[in-house]
Chain A
Amino acid sequence: MSNKKAKLLQGNEACVEGALAAGMRFFAGYPITPSTEIAEISSQKLPALDGKFIQMEDELSSMAAIIGGSLAGIKSMTATSGPGFSLMQENLGYATIAEIPCVIVNVQRGGPSTGLPTSPAQGEIMQAKWGTHGDHPAITLYPNSVEEIYNTTITAFNFSEKYRVPVVLLLDEVIAHMREKVTLKDTSEITIIDRKKPTCSAEEYVAYRADDNDNIPSMASFGEGYRYHVTGLVHNETGFPTNDNKVADKLIRRLIDKVENDIDNLSIYEDYKTNDAETVIVSFGSVSRSAKSAVNELRNNGKKVGLFRPITIWPTLEKQILEISKKAKTIYVAEMNLGQYYYEVERIAGKYCNVKKINKVNGELITPNEIISVINGGN
């Protein structure tokens, strides 16, 4: 019975399945390797579910269109890769300040610029947080298997709806194009979170007045009778622009607080044999799979090694990293870039233990042996 919904899926396919399970019924995108299958499969599946797919003229407009779709009340997503993710930064910032829920999938490839279109890389850790200008909140999730892509895509939608933020889902090219077993869930097995809707009358509705308990305002859809204004300018509680310094300060701090004050409910990670570990590898996505193999092999040889794998990349899992730093002697941050997440780990753990890098940017995976030799060599 339990095998009924077990399927062999490609990572990009699992992403669409997860999105559909979460309630995604609007997709706007632009073709780009290695994310294109997400658009292709969405175009095939959405109309059969009374959903909408549109291929826009570029990534700028794809990001704009999903914000429009979400404002009209439909859960919306786009998917892209490196160069397209750069173009999306403009309206990703808009979704942040206007508090429009949506999900942006970035199947990373080698960069900068056109870079290595068909090779894996993890170069957008910092861009996922700081790619759009100004101070702002960010939620970024990073799964490491096809099955986890399915489940994490559902979580990405739930977080975006709950906090009214654009959520970035980072995928690795190798997992996006790999096929693994996925157990698809029944509706009854999935928790779905929908955006908070106004319970007051249209006359009483103040579009950007946040509730005290969670800093999140309720959201009416366009056409529901709550006529209100949405802008990318700094605005007051009514949604209209203002240059009032106090209002600006309050707005930017609230946008960040609504996410960061709730970090405990956002923290997803895998802690693998770190309890007694003298050496801990921190890694995510495909590299974490090499890291886990390395941990197992090193343990077989008597070394006390563990793996800490953040699935929530932003906001940073400070509490967990701090805890590890107080037990371990050395942390190795292994990532397919020249050290991006490393800076977060170094900032938090650097006072308490050694923090070192294991990096690669040639378009190849970091292998278990490469990690093992660095740890054995003590470099």
Chain B
Amino acid sequence: MMYSNLVKKYYRINNLPHIWCPGCGHGILMNSIIRAIDNLKLDKDNICVVSGIGCSSRASGYMDFNTLHTTHGRALAFATGIKFANPNLKVIVVTGDGDCAAIGGNHLIHAARRNIDITTIAFNNNIYGMTGGQYSPTTPTGDFGTTAPYGNIDKSFDLCNLAKSAGATYVGRGTAYHASLLTKLIENGLNNNGFSFIEGVSVCPTYYGRKNKKGSSVKMMTYLKENCIDKKVVDKKPELGENKILIGELYNNSQPEYTEKYKEIIKMLSKES
């Protein structure tokens, strides 16, 4: 197998190939994280990648950093402990739609509320892939899953709106098709001193695609190409945004960061004594 220099530098080659299905978008999303890290020339020894459980969360094992593959939904809680204990570390969380919005929804909103300097990348494939295609909090209403054989009656979450409302200070959305945009958004997230939430819209031809007759991976990627629109365009011409997936930088509003606020308490107490 021939590997590019980028792969050799940042991946654990012994653990490749990855376990994702042919046509899955997750590999592209993972590579956007790597490209962002490479563009920013971050020190590998100083990076922690923390993940939960599910297809997305297998990413941590392939990347050559300090990596922690945790329990279902809890990646952000583990990551909060690491970042708070050692704020010098660059902490990245890789999660999925089920992982961060269902079982880990509480941890997502509270990590965002604290504005702790963690960059979260949510691989959203609209389904529970690892367990075989059950509907998730981002499965659109009316769509099918193995546990929604008559159509999903739940309303779905907009993950970016959720993160923004909860207090994330940088929010963006890219896709497996818009990979260079996604890389840029992750770079911005890593540069934001606070809680950053980047949604990477993926494609799951094996489960979500098959259950909902979306066709091949190529067809699903073409759908992303044709149905996404950058927020900058919609800001000028709102009518173009109708029934489209909004991508690009969605929110950017710097606020005091959690571990720095705590440092101020420590500083205050050391002056008193």
Contact = CB atoms under 8 A, between A and B. Distances in A.
Interface string A41-59: 0000001101010101110
Interface string B61-103: 1001111111100101111111111101100000000000000
Interface residues of B, number: 40
Nearest to B69: A231
B170 to A, nearest CB: 21
Contacts of B79: 68
Contacts of B44: 227
Interface in A61-87: 61-62, 64-74, 76
Query: A69, A70, A241 — which one has the most chain B CB atoms within 10 A of its CB?
Result: A69
Given A47-B265, A57-B110, A223-B45, A91 B71 contact: yes
Contacts of B266: 47-48, 50
A28 B15 CA distance: 34
B92 to A, nearest CB: 12
A5 interface: no
B262 interface: yes
Given A65-B80, A67-B81, A69-B81, A229 B74 contact: no
B-side interface mostly: helix
B78 A67 contact: yes
Given A229-B69, A230-B67, A230-B68, A72 B74 contact: no
Nearest to A74: B85
A223 B89 contact: yes
Contact of A52 (B50, B76, B106, B262): B262
Nearest to B72: A90
B262 A68 contact: no
A26 interface: yes
Contact of B61 (A47, A57, A231): A231
A228 B66 contact: yes
B269 interface: yes
B211 interface: no
Contacts, number: 135
Contact of A232 (B67, B70, B106): B70
A222 interface: yes
A76 B78 CA distance: 13
A76 to B, nearest CB: 7
B4 interface: no
Contacts of A73: 85-86
B86 A229 contact: no
A241 B81 contact: no
A176 interface: no
A310 B266 CA distance: 40
B138 to A, nearest CB: 22
A65 B89 contact: no
A103 interface: no
A379 to B, nearest CB: 47
A23 to B, nearest CB: 13
A326 B89 CA distance: 57
A297 B130 CA distance: 64
Nearest to B60: A229
B243 interface: no
Contacts of B61: 229, 231, 240-241
A225 B80 contact: no
Main secondary structure of the interface of A (DSSP, over half): mixed
A233 B67 CA distance: 13
**Which of A76, A94, A223, A232 has the largest count of B CB atoms less than 10 A from its CB?**
A223
B46 interface: yes
Given A68-B79, A94-B71, A223 B66 contact: yes
Contact of A61 (B64, B77, B86, B265): B77
B69 A230 contact: yes
A60 interface: yes
Interface string A215-250: 000000111110111111100000011000000000
Contacts of A67: 78, 81
B69 A233 contact: yes
Contacts of B68: 68, 71, 222, 229-231
Nearest to B86: A72
A72 B77 contact: no
A54 B78 contact: no
Contact of B70 (A94, A227, A240): A94
A54 B84 contact: yes
A26 B259 CA distance: 13
A76 B269 CA distance: 21
A240 B66 contact: no
Given A68-B50, A94-B71, 20 more contacts: A28-B81, A48-B270, A54-B84, A60-B77, A61-B110, A64-B74, A64-B77, A65-B78, A67-B78, A68-B78, A68-B80, A68-B85, A69-B82, A72-B85, A74-B85, A74-B86, A222-B48, A229-B69, A230-B69, A233-B69
10 contacts: A50-B270, A52-B262, A58-B106, A61-B106, A69-B81, A71-B81, A72-B86, A91-B74, A223-B46, A229-B67
Nearest 7 A/B pairs, CB to CB: A68-B81, A61-B77, A65-B81, A64-B77, A72-B85, A231-B69, A69-B85
Interface of B: 12, 15, 44-46, 48, 50, 60-61, 64-71, 74, 76-86, 88-89, 106-107, 110, 262, 265-266, 269-270, 273
